[in-house]
Structure 1
Amino acid sequence: MEKNIGWHGDTRLASASERTPLLTASRTVETEPRDQRNSKAHFIIIMLALGFLYLLYAACQASPTPRDDTNCRWQHDAPSYEVAKPSGSTVLNINIKSNTTIRPSIPEDFPDPCVVQGDDGDWYAFATSGNGHKIQMAKAKDPLGQWELIDREAIANQAWTTYRNFWAPDVRRVADGYVMYFSGQEPVTMRHCVGVARSPNITGPYVLDEEAFECPLTQGGAIDPSGFQDVETGKMYVVWKVDGNAVASGPGCGGDLGEEGGTPLMLQEVSPLDGSTRIGDAVAILDRVEEEDGPLVEAPNLVRALDGRFVLFYSTHCFSTPEYDVRYAWADDVRGPYHRAPRLLGTPDFGFEGPGGMTSTVGRNERGLGEVLLLHGRCAEANGGGGGRCLFAVPYGLAVEE
């Protein structure tokens, strides 16, 4: 809402005799002393200056990407956050539908996969940089079927990134085609930020927006974006991780962040027309707890259950360790509070080592929980036998405890 700021003084019009000193034979008449007129003029100037400064301040606060003068980049610092605490709720259980070892769907390095169904009815997966591509792509008739790599580059331009080290893409439909959320490397700090790219075709090429969508560099950056559209309300959201691990004391993923916090999962409502125009402020919906999660929570992915509740998949611990896993939490409101469930999938369940970085299919009827999680797990056969993170497809189902 715009505020009109002005000064309302005396609007009375002075007569000619009031405006001009009157000279007579006996005396000189002045309407007001000179000092008083100067004081009024000074007051008007001060009020106009204050109004101008207020308008500048309001414009700055309204901007979704305030200027960061320390590195000459436009960025949006994550707000201070507090995760809501859950109260009692009916338990929501998710079960893996398998009784045997689950083998890779793509026996190649294909980490942090997302999955989306195209207009042609086929399923498409996108993954972190690798195998000679900035963003990897694959295609299948069925998520649980055979996947084939698409030997084509998905990214069309560099924009604000280093043009390498793209992580964890996520593709969603919007009004005029497809939008890709991704983690791109910022060239000054070399930290990662969330970006947006667009294409009328599901396989691209995707053209990057010129500025990052979310870039809280002082807090470590932002990674692992994922889109979600609520089919009940039509509202669209983006979730991501604030990458506090990038600024933790100590080397690597396991640097000291203290006992709690530091890697919150954030939720931002956006316009479903373009997938990036912000609506309101971002909120934190989950953060790490040291005794359960180790140094982080990451890789958020939202879906909605048939009973109307929201399910948040996420991973904990460092991706390079056997403790990396798949977990979930549920909530009655998309903004939380979220109830944590026990670990869903980890080492050595179904033959997995370090499974995580997952995305759920959306149900084939466009509603409710999907049927398959696409995720990565460590595998020896990737990279010509040198090992890596292969693509796996894991069927799952929902059970509600009364």
Structure 2
Amino acid sequence: MPPRRLFAAALAVAAVATGTTAAVAAPPPAPVTTLNDISKPFADTFADPSIIQGRDGYWYAYATSDPLVANGPFGLMHMARTKDFGSWEYLGTVFNDSTKPAWAAPGSFFWAPDIRYFGGRYVMYFTVTDTLANPGGDPGIGVATAPTPAGPWTATDGPVVAPKPDGNGGYFGTIDPAMLTAADGKRYLYTGGFYGGLSVTELTPDGLHSVGTPTQVTVGDRYEGSYVVYRDGWYYLMGSSSNCCAGPTTGYSVFAGRSKSPRGPFLDADGVSMNESRVGGTTVITQNGNKWIGPGHHAFITDAAGQDHIVYHAIDRGTPWLTDPFGINRRPMLIDDIDWIDGWPRTRAGAGPSDTPQPAPTTGSALGIDSTDPAGGLRGATKLAGDSLGGPTASIRGAATTRQSARAGSVRVEANVKLGNSFTTVVGGGAVVVTVGASKVSIVAGGRTTSAPLPADFDRSQWNNLVVEVSGSRVTARVNDAGLGDLYAEAQLGVRGLKVRSAPVSWLGTAEVDNLTVRSVAQPVRRAAAVPVAGKLLAADEFNGALGDQWSWVRPDARAIVANGNLSWPLQNTDLVGGGNNAGLLFHQTPAGDSWIAETKLHLDLGEGDIRNYQQAGMIAYLNDDNFARLGDVSIWRTRQTEFGRELVARPSDGATSYGGAAIGRSAPTMWMRLAYHRNAAGEHVYRAGTSADGKEWTWGASWVLPAGVTPKLGLYAHGDQTGSNPPPVATFDYLRFYASK
């Protein structure tokens, strides 16, 4: 239908709606809150979560195969559901011994389920750690389908992505799947881990087989646990970095890059590729110094108000083990808001994991609509029996309106739909008109129009997801599989001065509708959370003369020389981790007070692309050789990264130590580093790491907490295995300064 005729028809619908005696919208109910960890009602650990909303209104969550509680059995992946994210029902395992994939080797584990809905069925991708083809460790990706999100699940007779030989008699880490339906109408599966990196593989339309040649999208040794969402013209690839499972020293974090293509290249906010030796990645979530450490392996959801949320696992640093130390890690499921700051997803605007009550995802509908029985809240719709999964649905043949008016201003309308040839949604009494036509999605608003094409093979007869959102001056219309960041088409239109008055929402055309919600749009957060800021200079050594009495050594190194305004320190062939406590450390007196920022400028040429483990230099907060946190520029196999590592005694009975690290920012031959210190309410010593490639723009990352009591020393280090370099690289420090915290 041409835009003028479309708009005229929509105005006619709006006029009918205006003529009704629409009730005034009831005031919103009291807000519901969640408290991490949200899996606590039914499980102590629920790792690698993925989540989807079923047509019955429940949100279904799935997790990897660890035992749910201490001394419990390993499951064949777990399922649970909720309607409000506070009350949960455990549903059992995805598979049992008779239904698990026949091609999995005995003893294989099943990890990292990724849940989707398309083609009229639920589709789950998952890791099989070992197959019958090469027993002993050849991971591949399985796929199973089900008529409902609770199953029963039927696995296919072979992997959707087969194990990938590494050429040396082993296999790359073909793990951690995440599926995406893209605007080109194709389906893609992202897989991989630290060994081999992340790749994307095109799938057949039914999602059950891979086709073509995979495309590498990240360098090895950095990312696993991928997840991809489409937003505002960009595909955002997110991956978890560092170690998932080091108990009290777990530094898992999530980073993102974006691309105009689902195949990449994916660049971070600084324009650095995720597929380079000096690897890029913009922080999505990292630990902030509260109880939660190692947040990662996540999924995204969008609630009925349009607020994005990240669902992930993390570890309580006070209770890190599900079993005995160095046994199974206790990784419950958490949830927090995602805010889009300057075009990038940030957990709570960058504040990180929450440990206090937070607003729960908005579920259900306003306007007196029962989202799972929508016909009762509409005029002109016919109630259909529906099916056992979704319950009653609403049939619209001609015109229909909500019985109550939506509030003026921003509004979001979402539904599962089976579409006829044309289906129009009218918001604000005709202020916004969105039509899903035979070949495109169109928007008319403020005298302007825009459209986006639907894929040629788009199946209107199946249940799809339709969103119409008016937020401020922007109108978005999106058709996708199941509201998980994928899409078939998205049209956006900016209209300056757009006014949306209070009016019923109206529809014109043909569709069957389920899970209908109408809500005011969540108020977006645009300002990033506060980060440490350096104030006045408190103390410094610019290395213009010999080291003074404010310096002290542990295991002095005579090769560390102060000359020409620098401290030059060839990397020692030593280490601090585990039993290798033979590295030299140089400490400076710290300022008095409970907060300050230490900064150094470091030049360290570690090359690119070759294997060096683990040459590094930087700053260290140190209690003793088995209790420290160090921030360094470090070579990790073929990558060059900045890492904020932590070691502590994890098993006091025999002094066994645990080490883990959190990645931060980009690496560069010359870089600036900061450790922001403060003492928390419990008297613990908290250090947050920051890095910069120019000394001006800072990336602030993870925090580590050292125990209350003796104040740790603060200083410099330079060490690592010298294999691959002769002579050893030289760490050149320009200064060490201490600033007041603003």
| TM-score of Structure 1 vs Structure 2, range by shorter chain | 0.5 to 0.7
Q: Counterpart in 2 of 1:335?
A: 263
Q: Which position in structure 2 is the counterpart of 1:137?
A: 79
Confirm whether residue 220 of structure 1 aligns to residue 146 of structure 2. Answer: no
Over 3 Å counting, the alpha-carbon distance change for 1:217 and 1:279 in structure 2 is closer
> Alignment RMSD, CA only?
2.8
1:283-322 matches, cutoff 5 A: 283-288=215-220, 295-305=221-231, 307-321=232-246, 322=250
Separation of aligned partners in 1, 2:150 and 2:192: 25
Aligned residue type for 1:207: T
CA apart distance, 1:148 = 3.1
2:113–2:124 Cα contact (<8 Å) kept: yes
Partner of 1:392: 334
Q: Secondary structure of 1:388's match?
A: coil
Which residue among 212, 222, 226 is the counterpart of 1:280?
Answer: 212
Structure-1 residue corresponding to 2:295: 355
In the TM superposition, what whole-angstrom CA distance separates every residue of 1:131-188 from its partner, at most 9, and x where no partner exists?
Answer: 342011111114x544332234445233111354110011111214111111012241
Amino acid at match of 2:292: F
Answer whether contact 2:160 2:210 (CA < 8 A) is retained: no
Q: Distance in 2 between matches of 1:344 and 1:297?
A: 13
Cα offset, 1:102, TM superposition: 6.1
Q: What's the counterpart of residue 186 of structure 1?
A: 131
Where does structure 1 lack aligned partners over 5 or more consecutive residues?
Answer: 1-99, 245-262, 289-294
Deviation at 1:217, TM superposition (A): 3.8
Structure 2 unmatched runs, 5+:
1-32, 68-72, 269-280, 345-742
- Quick one: structure 1 residues 351 and 345, their matched pair in 2 at CA, closer, same or farther if it must change by over 3 Å? farther
Q: Which of these residues, 145, 152, 163, is aligned with residue 205 of structure 1?
A: 152
- Contact 1:179/1:198, CA 8 A, preserved across alignment: yes
Aligned residue pair count: 272
1:372 to 2:309 alignment:
yes
User: For residue 111 of structure 1, what is the aligned residue in structure 2?
Assistant: 47
In structure 2, relative to structure 1, the CA distance for the partners of 1:242 and 1:105 (3 Å cut) is: closer
Q: How far apart, in 2, do the equivalents of 1:401 and 1:213 lie?
A: 33
Q: Deviations over 1:279-338 (max 9, x none)?
A: 4321111224xxxxxx43100000011x11111111111212422111111112211111
Match among 151, 169, 176 for residue 113 of structure 2: 169
Report the 3-state secondary structure (helix = DSSP H, G, I; strand = E; otherwise coil) of the residue aligned with 1:178.
Answer: strand
Q: Could you list the per-position Cα deviations for residues 325-377 of structure 1 after superposition, in whole angstroms to 9, with x for gaps in the alignment?
A: 11111112211111124322222355321111111115659xxx971111111
Q: Deviations over 1:57-112 (max 9, x none)?
A: xxxxxxxxxxxxxxxxxxxxxxxxxxxxxxxxxxxxxxxxxxx9962011311111
2:89 is aligned with 1:148: yes
Q: Is the 8 A contact 1:192 1:222 kept in 2?
A: yes
**Aligned in 2, Cα 1:102/1:130: closer, same or farther, shift over 3 Å?**
same
Residues 230-309 of structure 1 aligned to structure 2 (within 5 Å)? 230=182, 232-242=183-193, 244=195, 263-272=196-205, 274-288=206-220, 295-305=221-231, 307-309=232-234
More strand by share: 2
Q: Matches of 2:56 and 2:184 in 1, distance apart?
A: 25
- Highest RCO, 1 vs 2 (Cα 8 Å, sep ≥ 6): 1
Identity %: 26
Deviation at 1:206, TM superposition (A): 1.4
After superposition, the C-alpha distances for 1:247-269 in whole angstroms (9 at most, x for unaligned) are: xxxxxxxxxxxxxxxx3211112
Q: Distance in 2 between matches of 1:104 and 1:297?
A: 24
Find the residue that maps to 1:354 and give its secondary structure: strand
Distance 1:186 1:243 in 2: 20
TM-score of the aligned structures, taking structure 1 as reference length: 0.61
The letter for the 1-side match of 2:191 is W
Larger relative helix fraction? 1
Q: Deviation at 1:234?
A: 3.3
Equivalent residue letter for 1:328: A
Q: Is the 8 A contact 2:49 2:299 kept in 1?
A: yes
Alpha-carbon contact 1:222-1:243 (below 8 Å) kept: no
Deviates more, 1:330-339 or 1:100-109: 100-109
Structure-2 residue corresponding to 1:72: none
The alpha-carbon deviation at position 192 of structure 1 amounts to: 1.9
Please give the alpha-carbon distance, in whole angstroms, between the structure 1 residues aligned to 2:307 and 2:207. Answer: 21
Q: Distance in 1 between matches of 2:301 and 2:339?
A: 12
Q: TM-score, normalised by structure 2?
A: 0.34
Shift of residue 115, structure 1, vs aligned partner: 1.0
| Cα 1:349/1:148, change in 2 over 3 Å | farther
CA distance in 2, matches of 1:234, 1:349: 43
Inter-CA distance 372–317: structure 2 relative to 1 (3 Å threshold): same
Residue by residue, what CA displacement relative to the aligned partner does 1:370-402 show, whole Å, maximum 9, x if unpaired? 711111111328748985101001211213369
| 2:308 partner amino acid | E
Structure 2 distance, partners of 1:279, 1:223, is: 18
CA distance, structure 1, for counterparts of residue 61 and residue 158 of structure 2 = 25
Amino acid at match of 1:226: A
Change (3 A) 1:265 1:153: closer
